Chain A
Amino acid sequence: MVKGRQLNRLLFTDPETKQKVSDSKEMGFYKKQIRIALRNCGFINPENIEEYIARDGYAALGKALSEMTPEEVIKEIIASGLRGRGGGGFPTGLKWDITRKVQAEQKYVVCNADEGDPGAFMDRSILEGDPHAVLEAMAINGYCTGASKGLIYIRAEYPLAITRLKIAINQAREYGLLGNNIMGTGFDFDVEIRYGAGAFVCGEETSLIHSMEGNRGEPTVKPPFPSESGYKGMPTNVNNVETYANIPVILLEGSAWFSSIGTEKSKGTKVFALAGKVNNVGLIEVPMGITLREVIFEIGGGIKDGKKFKAVQTGGPSGGCLTEKHLDIPIDYDNLLAHGSMMGSGGMIVMDEDDCMVSMAKFYLEFTVEESCGKCAPCRIGNKRLYEMLETISEGKGTEADLTRLRNLAYVIKDTSLCGLGQTSPNPVLSTLENFQDEYNEHVKDKKCRAGQCKSLMQYVITEDLCVGCTLCSRVCPVDAIAGEKKQVHLINQELCIKCGACMDKCKFKAISIQ
């Protein structure tokens, strides 16, 4: 545990949650969680392989190599019901089996550590806190699929994770757990690191492969799937970090145990990065089938500052907003999809009454517009047009016809884009249109933004009765938009005001409000 604390100091997000949970919220925060993928994070020193080994590390690899055939391992993974944690939810065992069955001289095992969803950091935490778990699982995958080379594609923005991985790879080689003739069984497997360079689309598996080959990370049409033809044209098994982190536990504890957790079609746990307007933020690992209400109000400790819950966004830029009426739905891949969102990689952003849903959709779209690789027209041009329409609406210049056009274009982009980025990019727009129709209507008909976020639609005004003429507001105003003599009622010049809100924050008499 001393070592555990040492780690927490380095993982700078952790002390945060630790502090938060050490007060009265402690019970709620931990009670509903089950730690499988995060089992070692915070409990071992990730730079010391012996601590990993002491917690049954590399025992699953040993078991696979000495007691099981590749087919048996794959059968066990299939029976566990594990599905890909990188977003798609494809059955992991099945993917391994496909790669295994393709005949080729060389095959590759790839770990997708690109984690581009803004607001998500579970893969980073696993790599920083438990890098050997990923290496062990990749080696097991190599044994099953017949690959002797592993590649980890990691974002350059994660320097600590990269350092920890390098240390882990070197230590594993020293201990004979990577390299030639692993554990004396004749099995060869080694791992290399490849760096991303800040392109969200490189998380998509075909882009990722092109990027590893030294090219622009543009996706290509599937099929062929990487399992058939991937890195350098060879069969390549791509899995996500968190997917790998589950593998050793499944082999040691058995598929029956793993599949006893979760819902009918989604087994095990999922790590979420809980963020936004909740009291407890941070990484959580919960069983599939838990409800959003439990996550937000019990683990998350409810909404910050006693405000009212409005929506929760899952699945990042590919996902959608869920609302009050979805709070009691069990979270799993299929339920989230059925309600217009998706599991995605695990970002979970909670929003309250101060968040405008049009702005939210615009925020995600801005992201997509910037990250679209530009290869296909619906995504490159269509998303830009969607963004412009949302901009018009948030400036109060939209019409009802715009709402219809918004919806139609969104469906066209979904249906005709080449890769998953374009196919899912309109989801934030569609789900907010569906769930917050009245808020869109207010923007176009009444020219109002009830959350007060759309700057063009709001005005800061001083209430005469409350203003005592203290001059504080006119002194903080960065553009000298406030006029008024000492002890006289002040007035804001709307033409000059840049709507920064500084005056409202400063006024001690609550005389300034948004209209």
Chain B
Amino acid sequence: MANIKLPAHKVEELKEVCKQFDHQGSELINVLHAAQGLFGYLPAEVQELVANELNLPLAHVYGVVTFYSFFSMTPKGEFPISICMGTACYVRGAEKVLDEFKRLLNVKVGETTPDGKYSVSCLRCVGACGLAPVVTVGEKVYGRVTADDVKGIIAEYNS
């Protein structure tokens, strides 16, 4: 795997976070949350850094990163699109909405468009079932989405 050069100031920030948690191995998940917040994802280099700082085997860190779906080892698109596939959304037609995103952006679930702009992923119940089906783009929430709305949603970010 090609090595990525991590920005030095972010590396320092992450070390600072580890220090705040007293370099405790039991704080691994909290540290990983912070690391993902800093770098956007958790490439091998970040995992190595965390393993060193918390004095844990790299395999343990990798084991934890891969166990939890919230942690990602690939960068997300500039506008991460998430389609809720929770039960309420599914029953109200989320699958059709997902199919339309996949078709229009020509990517599979978990992929990012070649220009790095959009990524498509599925979520489990964001707790807004009353608005089902729900789509989120970054922090923005769209409710009652139909396949017809998809084009418009993508266009909003296409400038």
- Given contacts A156-B33, A351-B91, A12 and B25 within 8 Å (CB-CB): no
Q: How far is the CB of A35 from chain B (nearest CB, A)?
A: 18
Asked if A13 and B130 sit within 8 Å, CB to CB, the answer is yes
Partner of A275, one of B69, B71, B87: B87
List the A side residues contacting B92 at CB < 8 Å.
276-277
Asked if A313 and B87 sit within 8 Å, CB to CB, the answer is yes
Q: How far is the CB of A11 from chain B (nearest CB, A)?
A: 10
- Given contacts A500-B96, A500-B99, A281 and B130 within 8 Å (CB-CB): yes
Within 8 A of A (CB), among B52-89: 63-64, 67-71, 85-88
- Given contacts A275-B88, A276-B88, A13 and B127 within 8 Å (CB-CB): yes
Asked if A16 and B131 sit within 8 Å, CB to CB, the answer is yes
Q: At the interface, yes or no: B18 with Cβ under 8 Å from chain A?
A: no
Chain B residue nearest to A125 in the complex (CB): B127
Q: At the interface, yes or no: B145 with Cβ under 8 Å from chain A?
A: no
Number of interface residues of A (CB under 8 A): 50
Q: How far is the CB of A505 from chain B (nearest CB, A)?
A: 8
Asked if B30 and A195 sit within 8 Å, CB to CB, the answer is yes
- Given contacts A214-B28, A355-B91, A12 and B131 within 8 Å (CB-CB): yes
Question: Which residue of B25, B29, B71 has the most chain A CB atoms within 10 A of its CB atom?
Answer: B29
Q: Would you give the 0/1 interface string for A189-229, flagging 1 where the beta carbon is closer than 8 Å to chain B?
A: 00000111111100000000001011111100000000000
Q: At the interface, yes or no: B51 with Cβ under 8 Å from chain A?
A: no
One of A45-53, A116-124, A139-147, A335-343 contacting the partner? A116-124
Q: At the interface, yes or no: B45 with Cβ under 8 Å from chain A?
A: no
Within 8 A of A (CB), among B1-46: 24-30, 32-33
Q: How far is the CB of A5 from chain B (nearest CB, A)?
A: 17
Question: In the complex the two chains form, what is the Cα distance from A125 to B70 in whole Å?
Answer: 21
- Given contacts A13-B130, A120-B125, A197 and B71 within 8 Å (CB-CB): yes
Q: At the interface, yes or no: A157 with Cβ under 8 Å from chain B?
A: yes
Q: At the interface, yes or no: A30 with Cβ under 8 Å from chain B?
A: no
Q: Would you give the 0/1 interface string for A10-52, flagging 1 where the beta carbon is closer than 8 Å to chain B?
A: 0011001100000000000000000000000000000000000
List the B side residues contacting A363 at CB < 8 Å.
87, 90
List the B side residues contacting A218 at CB < 8 Å.
67
Chain B residue nearest to A116 in the complex (CB): B124
Q: Would you give the 0/1 interface string for B107-131, flagging 1 where the beta carbon is closer than 8 Å to chain A?
A: 0000000000000000111111111
List the A side residues contacting B103 at CB < 8 Å.
478
List the B side residues contacting A121 at CB < 8 Å.
125, 127-129
- Given contacts A118-B125, A119-B125, A199-B67, A12 and B33 within 8 Å (CB-CB): no
Partner of B129, one of A281, A367, A373, A500: A281
List the A side residues contacting B96 at CB < 8 Å.
500-501
List the A side residues contacting B91 at CB < 8 Å.
275-277, 349, 351, 355
List the A side residues contacting B99 at CB < 8 Å.
500
List the A side residues contacting B26 at CB < 8 Å.
213-214
Chain A residue nearest to B67 in the complex (CB): A216
Asked if A118 and B67 sit within 8 Å, CB to CB, the answer is no
Question: In the complex the two chains form, what is the Cα distance from A351 to B25 in whole Å?
Answer: 46
Q: At the interface, yes or no: B141 with Cβ under 8 Å from chain A?
A: yes
Q: How far is the CB of A275 from chain B (nearest CB, A)?
A: 4
Chain A residue nearest to B130 in the complex (CB): A16
Known: A118-B124, A195-B30. 13 other contacts (CB 8 A): A119-B129, A124-B127, A198-B70, A216-B64, A216-B67, A217-B67, A217-B68, A218-B67, A273-B88, A277-B91, A281-B132, A363-B87, A500-B99
Report the 6 A-B pairs with minimum CB-CB distance, sorted nearest first: A119-B87, A197-B68, A118-B86, A198-B70, A275-B88, A121-B127
Interchain residue pairs with CB less than 8 A apart (9): A118-B87, A119-B88, A121-B125, A158-B127, A195-B33, A197-B68, A198-B69, A275-B91, A363-B90
Instruction: Spell out A's residues near B (CB within 8 Å).
Output: 12-13, 16-17, 115-121, 124-125, 156-158, 194-200, 211, 213-218, 273, 275-277, 281-282, 313, 316, 347, 349, 351, 355, 363-364, 367, 373, 478, 500-502
